[in-house]
Amino acid sequence: MSVPVSTIETTAPPTAAPTEPERRAIPAAACWVISILGAVAGVYYIHQVRQTMQVMMHLMDLSVYQIAGHRVVDGASIYDTPLLGQTRGVWEFVYTPFAALLFVPLVDLHGDVFTYVGAFGNFAMLTASVLAALSMLGYRRDLRLVLIAVPIAGLLMWCEPVRETMAFGQINIFLLMLVLADMALPDSSRWKGVLTGIAAGIKLTPAFFVVYLLVTRRYRAAVTAIGVFAATVLIGLAAMPKDSLSFWSGAFADPTRVGVPENPRNESLRGLLARTIGVQGVHQLLWLAGAFAIAAVCLYLARRLSLTGYELPAVVLVGLTTTAVSPYSWVHHWVWLAPLLVYLADLALRRRGAVTSIGLLIAVVVASGGVIAFFDPTMSSIYDYPAGSHLATFLHNGYIWLTLALFGAAAVALRRSARDALPAPAR
């Protein structure tokens, strides 16, 4: 699988926070088209939820978060035993003590209120994430942008990681919103880094964005993020000293708390290797070396993209990489495919070329799980193709292949951009 080179380019690269005169309005015609498509997609999604509630809105993970909140209130440990059932590696709490404190308000939610908070809360955060992405693309932050973000979020409900996050009531869209909103702030803002620090204080993988801030020389924002992260650790320690000791003394680095790495739904590099060659002994070193190499290449490409004004694709690459190199990444962890689709769609609409359209189509097919659920939500994704064949190896790791293809597209595009910037030879 490959993504066309020009899918990483833009006609007028915006900076992370362009000044207002540089911002552009979304064309009225595009607003109407997107609004109609988004309304149809959103209404059809709601129809499927009503028809198959136990498939598309069971909120199992949100219920587990609620149990974690109950344990905090009752003074019981959240790490000693699984939150649900007795099987190790199933329904164990894998977030920080600070995250458990954030789940305490869920204790008082019951019945339909619980369902509405889970569903509409995630949709509202997805809409906010779209707003942040569009802002990073240089669009004018006005009422029209707010209104168009809603139908775009409706379209993104058919991105498989978003759809699964909604179904499980997962926290991933919340983390996506925090990081995107933070990266959309101007570098001069004293608040830049705060939301990234909070995100890392909830789940450790967003801490990779601190490294991104460092390599792009936004040192104040990086220090702010580190300081806020440290504050979340101290808050957790003060409120839950025993659990904090358990988590930071080893529980945070134990991937078995999530499950076996060869699980077909583990869409990370470690999952890919576990399903093909295993992850014991030398294979464990191979995974670590591969993860380090992918992270290093990502930071190199993201730095160059950011310094040349392509902030959103740079941030998206970092987000995808955090998921790719994580020891365990469920499908719903890949919500960074949502802003990728926003970027590619914007590019395809403005360039109106076959290459960018093909790139968008490839990304849509991969991110939607083969658009199977659009026709029948009870059907499996293409990533559930039976194991034991070369096709299964390809399909089970579709997100990894897409990420690596985007690396290649970014590298070639940056090289082409640098070549075009060279002065013409003297005659």
Q: What is the DSSP letter of 26?
A: P
pLDDT for the residue numbered 381? 62
H-helix or E-strand spanning residue 157: none
CB 143 within 8 A of CB 137: no
pLDDT for the residue numbered 10? 44
CB 244 within 8 A of CB 97: yes
**Which structure tokens are listed for 260?**
């076996």
C-alpha 139/C-alpha 187 separation (Å) is 17
Q: How confident is the model at residue 2 (pLDDT cuts 50, 70, 90)?
A: very low
Tens of pLDDT along 262-290? 887 888 999 889 888 887 778 888 989 99
Q: Which residues contact 275 (CB under 8 A, 6 or more apart)?
A: 262, 264, 387, 393, 396
Tens of pLDDT along 171-211? 999 999 999 999 999 999 999 999 999 999 999 999 999 99
Which residue pairs, CB below 8 angstroms and at least 24 apart, start in 139-142?
139/23, 139/24, 139/25, 139/26, 140/20, 140/23, 140/24, 140/25, 140/26, 141/23, 142/25
Q: How confident is the model at residue 389 (pLDDT cuts 50, 70, 90)?
A: low
Q: Where are the domains of the chain?
A: 5-421
Q: Is the pLDDT of residue 67 over 70?
A: yes
CB 362 within 8 A of CB 345: no
- Helix pair 208-215, 194-202: axis angle to 10 deg: 150
pLDDT for the residue numbered 9? 46
pLDDT for the residue numbered 108? 94
Segment 287-297 mean pLDDT = 95
Phi and psi at 389, nearest 5°, equal -145, 165
Q: pTM of the predicted model, to two decimals? A: 0.90
Can you give the three-state secondary structure of 365-397, one letter per residue?
HHHCCCCCCCCCCCCCCHHHCCCCCHHHHHHHC
Q: Is the pLDDT of residue 14 over 60?
A: no
Longest CA–CA separation in the chain, Å: 81
C-alpha 148/C-alpha 26 separation (Å) is 9
Tens of pLDDT along 119-177? 999 999 999 999 999 999 999 988 899 999 999 999 999 999 999 999 999 999 999 99
Residue with tokens 């939820």: 49
pLDDT for the residue numbered 1? 43
Nearest to 256 by CA among 279, 276, 240: 279
**Which structure tokens are listed for 184?**
């959309």
